[in-house]
Chains A and B, each alone.
Chain A
Amino acid sequence: MMNKLNFLKPDRKNLNTYLYSGSFLFFIAIFDVFLSSFFKINITSFLPNLVSFLLPLILGILGLHLIRIEFSGIKNLDLLNKNINTNNFNATLTLIIIFAIIKSIAPVTSWFFIDANIAGDTKEACTGSGACWTYIKIWLRRFIYGMYPNELQWRINISFILLIALAFVGYFPSEKLRKFLTLYYVAIYPIIAFILIYYLISGGTFGLVWVETGAWGGLSLTFIVSFFCLIFCFPVGMFLALGRRSQLPTVRYISVGFIEFWRGVPLITVLFMSSVMFPMFLPEDFFMDKLVRVIIAISLFEAAYVAEVIRGGLQALPRGQYDAAKSLGMGYWKMHIFVILPQALKLVIPGIANTFLALVKDTPLIFVVGLLELVGMLNLAKTNPEWLGFAMEGYVFAAIIFWIICYAMSKYSYNLELKYKTDR
């Protein structure tokens, strides 16, 4: 009995014995799972089914128990024990996670790479049991440019390259031009973007063929819609936030009403109304492109959310900041532009980033008015009779693209946060 208890309580005296026997059991457990998931071999098949299934877990727990030696003096072992092997419960969780990872690596890699096809350009080229990347390859142009004519796609490329280049202007201004940077990003850059898109992508003048917005689509449309919505919803949201805190009752009630209205309706309804109801209120001969209507609708919708986020930041500022600004003779606008908003906006960067990410991921909803961005094009492609049955590849592709966009945005917002951090 004593012996047994001793055995259950590893100590430093027999460190090596415990370490080796524990590690051995642990690796047997891992090895068993590894073999069964990669090579479909079950070395414990002679045991009853349930025991054979649970054996790696039992061996693993036993192994981890044996190597749980306090203050062993071996740095990595102590680290391991402290972080993932503090007690039997943690050890079990650790094992289950490790097994889950090993079990999923095999099918995931084989679907993505080993059994996947990318060669050829018909459905017949896809012979493997994994993903058919041929489908993505063939449809890539459509996924990026929508129905935009192939021979005109250089216009989209040039516009986007120019826009990206112009976005980096902020990095190299001279000392003298630095103070115009905000003006540039808030006013000039969006105007340039609009002009580029209006004249180059839409066309119709300067000898460029007009391409109607119904033909735009794919990832480029995702970018266009997201870009303009982000740019518009921010200032509108800011004014709504200020309006909601205004001393003037009219301004306050209008802001509250606006915010509560847009927050209360689903985006899909808003989009639907923008295309069906909105034109009914317009004069007969007044024409507004549906892309423009959609951008306005999404911007106003998101502005309500941005407004509430910014209001949170305004609320968080101590009253002393207002008092100090006022006592120096600053009026409402000077106080807000130079003192209040810079501090409040800094506080709400994470919240704003959140709203913006949601916005980007909401863009697929514009399919309700017949605009097909990336996900819309996927849905179109998957119903093509020649390419039936590849929905999975399409959605995985879209998920990866959206994840990259959103991850980049979230990293960027995190950098902004660090850049503008101040001690209080």
Chain B
Amino acid sequence: MSEQIIEMNEVNKWFDDFHVLKDINLTVAPKQKIVVCGPSGSGKSTLIRCINRLEVHQKGKIVVDGIELSEDTKNIEQIRAEVGMVFQQFNLFPHLSILDNCTLAPIWVKKTPKKKAEELALRELEKVQIQDQAKKFPGQLSGGQQQRAAIARALCMRPKIMLFDEPTSALDPEMIKEVLDAMVNLAKAGMTMIVVTHEMGFAKEVADEVIFMDEGMIVERANTKEFFANPKSDRTKVFLSQIL
């Protein structure tokens, strides 16, 4: 057994003829925080969606927490219960209150008793400071509140790993900070995180390592300080000069 919580080995993925992921090798140790950046269409979303098998890879091997991803649905559901995900578009369930959004999966997937699930949900909502919105419906919340609710919903499953796919890209500037704050707190609490984002301030503050992707390949992976201080590849330099 290795001590890595995520291992991707020579992972390849195609959308029909289009080669999205090319020979991806990626290992993540427990409690590591990794930020993934890169130009649009470079395959960042696809990469992290492969980790909880929202996308299926065609070649290579992905092992999450000692379980290899395969056709076996039992394994997939087990891994998904351990890997939380936060989306760009929040994807809260609009027909359920915030509290029900947070308790649905714990109750029906993890078989947590309803009372306990609600206590847990309120505690998680409190951590992201929207416990007073618990009874409201997603449509009645601001974007920032919705995204924090989505984070709380994922955390209610007590995941070992959290995946974030551009969690602040759909938000107005004044709401970005409240979401990033919630993520910083989560990082400080020791969560393993993979974050796709263009918020370089966030990367500098919490990331252990930064990965730069382009055209389906991992071009560069480096320690955060190193990555920003002296990037090795030319493409990284160009990208950083555009974004900073």
Contacts and interface: CB of A to CB of B under 8 A. Distances in A.
Asked if A and B bind, the verdict is yes
Interface of A: 318, 320-321, 323-331, 334, 338-339, 342-343, 346, 420, 422-424
A70 B139 CA distance: 44
Contacts of A338: 104, 108
A329 B95 contact: no
Given A328-B105, A329-B105, A423-B139, A346 B73 contact: no
Interface in B17-39: none
B67 interface: no
A338 B109 CA distance: 11
Contacts of A323: 49, 54, 85, 87, 91
A343 B94 contact: yes
Interface residues of B, number: 30
B73 A326 contact: no
A324 B80 CA distance: 10
A328 B154 contact: yes
A334 B80 CA distance: 14
Contacts of A318: 89, 91
A423 B140 contact: yes
A321 B150 CA distance: 12
A339 B93 contact: yes
Contacts of A423: 94, 137, 139-140
B157 A329 contact: yes
B109 A329 contact: yes
Contacts of A331: 73, 77
A contact patch SS: helix
A327 B93 contact: no
B54 A334 contact: no
Contacts of B92: 324
Contacts of A329: 77-78, 80-81, 105, 109-110, 157
B91 A328 contact: no
A422 B139 CA distance: 8
Contacts of A424: 94, 139
A267 B68 CA distance: 52
Contacts of A320: 87, 89, 91
A325 B150 CA distance: 12
Contacts of A334: 108-109
A241 B154 CA distance: 30
Given A422-B137, A422-B139, A327 B95 contact: no
A314 B232 CA distance: 48
A324 B87 contact: yes
A328 B139 contact: no
10 contacts: A318-B89, A318-B91, A321-B93, A323-B87, A324-B85, A328-B81, A329-B78, A334-B109, A423-B137, A423-B140
Contact of B83 (A324, A327, A346): A327
A321 B92 CA distance: 7
A298 B221 CA distance: 64
